[in-house]
Amino acid sequence: MDTIKYLLQEQDIPKYWYNIQSDLPEPAAPVLHPGTKQPVGPDDLAPLFPMELIMQEVSTEREIEIPEPVRDIYRQWRPTPMYRARRLEQMLDTPARIYYKYEGISPVGSHKPNTAVPQAFYNKQAGVKRLTTETGAGQWGSSLAMACSFFGIECEVYMVRVSYDQKPYRRGLMEAYGASVTASPSNKTNAGRSILAEHPDSTGSLGIAISEAVELAATSDDTKYALGSVLNHVLLHQSVIGLESMRQMEMADDGVDILIGCTGGGSNFAGIAFPFIGKKLRGEGGPRVIAVEPSACPSLTKGKFAYDFGDTAHLTPLTKMHTLGSTFVPPGFHAGGLRYHGMAPLVSHLHDIGEIDAISYNQLQTFRAGLQFAQAEGILPAPEANHAVAAAIEEAEKCREEGVSKSILFNLCGHGNFDMQAYIDYQAGKLVDYEYAEEEIAMALAGLPVV
Amino acid sequence: MDTIKYLLQEQDIPKYWYNIQSDLPEPAAPVLHPGTKQPVGPDDLAPLFPMELIMQEVSTEREIEIPEPVRDIYRQWRPTPMYRARRLEQMLDTPARIYYKYEGISPVGSHKPNTAVPQAFYNKQAGVKRLTTETGAGQWGSSLAMACSFFGIECEVYMVRVSYDQKPYRRGLMEAYGASVTASPSNKTNAGRSILAEHPDSTGSLGIAISEAVELAATSDDTKYALGSVLNHVLLHQSVIGLESMRQMEMADDGVDILIGCTGGGSNFAGIAFPFIGKKLRGEGGPRVIAVEPSACPSLTKGKFAYDFGDTAHLTPLTKMHTLGSTFVPPGFHAGGLRYHGMAPLVSHLHDIGEIDAISYNQLQTFRAGLQFAQAEGILPAPEANHAVAAAIEEAEKCREEGVSKSILFNLCGHGNFDMQAYIDYQAGKLVDYEYAEEEIAMALAGLPVV
């Protein structure tokens, strides 16, 4: 009764990314120019992204070919393993069959390199010399730093001040890959300087860091910007997770009844879920899909489906998404990767048309689930991934109570090696559940742009 | 010109461990009882280890079957990948072919579970309820903690006080697996109490922690002791590394000219090297084998090949090994896994009969090599593994200077995710090379037991 691994061969690394825009019953709402409020064209985005990525952003082709140099690098850790968690099933005494796809074996320990590598590749191809980006906890920043070091591109990361001070290890990793890391808000940009003028002690936010990185890219010729989640092309690149999982479920000779992913910006969730949802949209059937978010940053469960900015300084285009308002600052909880005020437009759209269920958990329940998982399966999950683990355990316990055997698949998007302080705090009883303030969200939502 | 992965199938996980004792031209010196100075028998070791492990310790069978439940757990991360480091070769502009076996994809990030799992298995089979052990940096302790959680055995870890205070993250990981972790020296044992009586502020050492763990096992009925390196059965379990590597070199259709591993107690080095050395001993040819150790703890290059104790309180049997003396306390350098005063008897013996070359590096050179490797290959190595990386790079540079293309294989025994402070200190210029004091070693060697 031990954990079973389902391992694909190198030739099984997908040759094409899957683009869910091809299968939508109605297209997602267009992205709007922040000034004119008219749909943006490719040229509007050209200062920020190379044309190949812009074309992917708006493509409605079902399959987009993965360039060979990108597959060459994917090969280093892909195909990633899928496991049947039989030791966990035993621990839970459940008739459920629990599967997890494990993205933590990438060199930086998460799914983020799946998009960092193609983004660096297309930028290199377009002659870009430098990429700017933002990072919160540092998963994305270290992935882009690694990808840039492979392609010989400079990497400049704006790291939320509070993480910069409290999480020196992720910063150290980015610097090990040769990236330069700046605490945000900084004096290097207008956006940063204006925040600092008003709040000299600002601890920063992802929205502010995005403003800084975007401003730098928009105002330098040889520099572009890279985003680690939310955008359509990022979700597209992550589809390798779900495409591989489908083949691995065939190896396991099993179907999926319940599919689970955690959501911050939406990219790891979309990565595993979109290929399955696409089949469903094409009438071929598919699982119930659950997005799990933290109660402390509940964009899908408590936010509004409306046009909003991606950043605090309102430099980005307007996208229609589930949002808590671009001025919403989530409280200090430990899943740093899930602290974004918005949700990927494609995830939001699919939630809106009823293809995705959303639930939220408080952090104590997720850490409890993560430790249970570690003791059964050996892998200590990232706090973000613990949200998916907690949902899988809850569904497996329901199976036990109801005496039914369902097949549950979740995405274990990363390991927790860089999050030990959170586990130590949890085990020392120092973490508390946070009840977000309804009025804070209401206030942030009241500030949504009028479109 | 990208990194190439050589990936075996699950059915290629070795079914037998390779025992180099079968191929030695002359047997290694016997282990002696500390009181009688006579060779120990199995019964002398029975208070500490289950009989299956004692039999493996003295076996001269070439192949020892790996129990199916152990292979079932190995399957979770084995076979581990072997890579050809073509991006590193390109960076070094070398005609050398550089291969590395990567053990960092195990759940705890190193090769240590290869022996932690069978040790927990055999103890469980023997009805043992609790295992005690010591740990320095924590790689071994977290591996045993994980293995014990799989088999439902209690795990009690004595962690060197200085690491306990300075490396809370590894401690957090052990506790996440349910282990109890005690700073050593502690008040729980006679060995600990007598040290504390004399040195209330003792920061501990691996030798002291071993004394405590051994004492507890020797004085409790349901408790045994587990060691993470040095002993023959530990090296035996690690042979899966080299056995897989041999098959992977066949996949690469290449031979090995130079084989490299870093050495602390000797287990990861033996793991990759012994199957190759065995072929050589059987007259089938093989590579030049290099053991790399830190200049700050140079047991092979500066120690004496003599009988010594494994611990500070002199509770262990006497083994003939390269040693710096059981009272030698290495200075504070960052490769915590390489701080042991002795060297595995089998590695020492093979060095003594000329089968192994030994070299030592100061730490600055090893960190420089580690960063070079990370920027080329994406994986940030553990500081221990950086010693092997540095030797591989030096040999590859020799190839460039001499215009010859050699094949170099080294063991990348773990990742550096839990060692970020060391990298940060290195990049901030805070690390220094340590010149060990000749007289310190001389003094410790003067105290060697008379046999």
User: Distance between CA B102 and CA A224 in Å, rounded?
Assistant: 34
Check CB contact of A90 with chain B, cutoff 8 Å. no
pLDDT of residue A414: 97
Check CB contact of B180 with chain A, cutoff 8 Å. no
- Please give, rounded to a whole number of angstroms, the shortest distance from the CA of A114 to a CA of chain B: 13
Residue B25 falls inside a structural domain:
no
Mean of pLDDT over chain A = 95
Q: Do B424 and A169 touch (CB under 8 A)?
A: yes
Q: Do A108 and B378 touch (CB under 8 A)?
A: yes
Check CB contact of B176 with chain A, cutoff 8 Å. yes
Residue A121 falls inside a structural domain:
no
Q: Count how many domains chain A has.
A: 1
Q: A108 contacts in B (CB within 8 Å)?
A: 378
Mark out the alpha helices in B289-328 (DSSP H runs).
Answer: 299-302
| Burial class of residue A253 in the structure, from the number of CB atoms within 10 Å of its CB (0-12 exposed, 13-18 middle, 19+ buried) | exposed
In our burial notation (b when 16+ CB lie closer than 10 A, e otherwise), range B47-62 reads ebbbebbbebbbbeee
pLDDT tens-digit profile, chain B (451 residues):
688 999 899 899 999 999 999 999 999 999 999 889 999 999 999 999 999 999 999 999 999 999 999 999 999 999 999 999 999 999 999 999 999 999 999 999 999 999 999 999 999 999 999 999 999 888 999 999 999 999 999 999 999 998 898 888 999 999 999 999 999 999 999 999 999 999 999 988 888 999 999 999 999 999 999 999 999 999 999 999 999 999 999 999 999 999 999 999 999 999 999 999 999 999 999 999 999 999 989 999 999 999 999 998 898 999 999 999 998 877 777 777 788 899 999 999 999 999 999 999 999 999 999 999 999 999 999 999 999 999 999 999 999 999 999 999 999 999 999 999 999 999 999 998 876 678 888 988 998 998 8
Residue A102 falls inside a structural domain:
yes
Q: Do A3 and B380 touch (CB under 8 A)?
A: no
Structure tokens at A283: 């009438």
Residue A161 falls inside a structural domain:
no
Q: Which segments of chain A have a pLDDT < 70?
A: 1, 435-436
Residue A294 falls inside a structural domain:
yes
User: Distance between CA B302 and CA A232 in Å, rounded?
Assistant: 60
pLDDT of residue A1: 65
pLDDT of residue B206: 87
CA A10, A16, A17, A18 torsion: positive or negative?
negative
Task: Find the CB nearest B378 among A107, A374, A380.
Answer: A107
What is the chain A residue with the closest CA to B73? Answer: A2
User: Distance between CA A450 and CA B197 in Å, rounded?
Assistant: 74
| Burial class of residue A152 in the structure, from the number of CB atoms within 10 Å of its CB (0-12 exposed, 13-18 middle, 19+ buried) | exposed
Task: Find the CB nearest B2 among A73, A107, A378.
Answer: A73
CATH of the domain at B404: 3.40.50.1100
pLDDT tens, position by position, B322-379: 999 998 877 777 777 788 899 999 999 999 999 999 999 999 999 999 999 999 999 9
Structure tokens at B356: 């192994």
DSSP A97-125: EEEEEE-TTSTTSBSTHHHHHHHHHHHHH
Structure tokens at A449: 């742009």
Centroid of chain to Cα A17 = 17
Q: Give the mutation candidate from A1, A102, A173, A248 for the B interface (greatest B CB count, under 10 A).
A: A173
Measured in degrees and rounded to the nearest 5, phi and psi for residue B92 equal -85, -10
If contacts are CB pairs under 8 Å, which of residues 19-78 in chain A contact chain B?
A: 69, 72-73, 75-76
If contacts are CB pairs under 8 Å, which of residues 118-147 in chain B contact chain A?
A: 146
pLDDT of residue B366: 97
Q: At what angle do helices B232-251 and B345-352 cross, to 10 degrees?
A: 70
Residue A300 falls inside a structural domain:
yes
Residue B92 falls inside a structural domain:
yes
How many residues can be counted in chain B? Answer: 451
pLDDT of residue B81: 97
Q: E strands, A107-257, where?
A: 130-135, 154-160, 180-184, 223-225
Residue pointed to by tokens 């006579």: B38
- Please give, rounded to a whole number of angstroms, the shortest distance from the CA of A375 to a CA of chain B: 5
Parent domain of B328: 4-10+77-109+237-446
pLDDT of residue A330: 78
Check CB contact of B177 with chain A, cutoff 8 Å. yes
Q: Do A175 and B427 touch (CB under 8 A)?
A: yes
User: Distance between CA A209 and CA A185 in Å, rounded?
Assistant: 7
User: Distance between CA A447 and CA B3 in Å, rounded?
Assistant: 50
Residue B162 falls inside a structural domain:
no
- Please give, rounded to a whole number of angstroms, the shortest distance from the CA of B59 to a CA of chain A: 29
